[in-house]
Structure 1
């Protein structure tokens, strides 16, 4: 499993994003990454079950091709190889979860279990 994590420079985003609302840049990026098989795990961190880093490279090249402003606004960007992905929310107990809802489940993500 691989992940892409990025941080956008907010001032650069205001200067280079062509749309009226610079916050829409995050949705523009998300759409391209989703088309490439990634899902948003949290913030600007996107996971994928692709078995090799080439898919990360291609996804980022695709974002840049579709959104030429992207390079000008990226402050930091990393590719991460995820060995395990365990949900730690159950450690907090059900009473700690917002509105009593169980944590989000993904069929492709492992779960941490206490004995």
Structure 2
């Protein structure tokens, strides 16, 4: 399974977003990624579906950068993660 994790620089996002509420940017990101084979997991982490490959993950990030022109300017860090196992630690608490 593959995932995309990112962190946005808030001040850069405020400048680049160009709309009244910069926090709406997260909704736009979520809409883009869910339409492109990802599911929101938590925070700024999105897990790819069963069909997601490393190549598709990179292509999705590139397409998002084109579709959301403010995204690249605001990204502090973006990673593709390969997840071998997904274990819920909630029951262990």
TM-score range, shorter chain: over 0.9
Give the equivalent residue in structure 2 for 1:14.
14
Higher relative contact order (CA 8 A, sep 6+): 2
Deviation at 1:51, TM superposition (A): 4.3
Larger radius of gyration, structure 1 or 2?
1
Q: TM-score, normalised by structure 2?
A: 0.93
Tell me which protein shows more helix as a share of its residues: 2
| Paired position in structure 1 for 2:70 | 69
> Deviation of residue 62 (structure 1)?
1.7
Whether the 8 Å CA contact 1:32–1:62 is kept in 2: the answer is no
Mark the CA change 1:79 to 1:38 in structure 2 (over 3 Å): closer, same or farther: same
TM-superposed CA distance for 1:65, in Å, is 1.5
Greater share of residues in strand: 2
List gaps (5 residues or longer) in structure 1.
Answer: 93-115
**In the comparison of the two structures, how many residue pairs are matched?**
92
In structure 2, stretches of 5+ residues that fail to align are none
Could you say what the CA RMSD is over the residues aligned between the two structures, in angstroms? Answer: 1.0
User: Which structure 2 residues correspond to residues 30-69 of structure 1 after superposition, within 5 A?
Assistant: 30-49=30-49, 50-69=51-70
1: CA distance, partners of 2:13 / 2:24: 10
**In 2, are the aligned partners of 1:3 and 1:45 still within 8 Å (CA)?**
yes
**TM-aligned CA deviation for residue 77 of structure 1:** 0.4
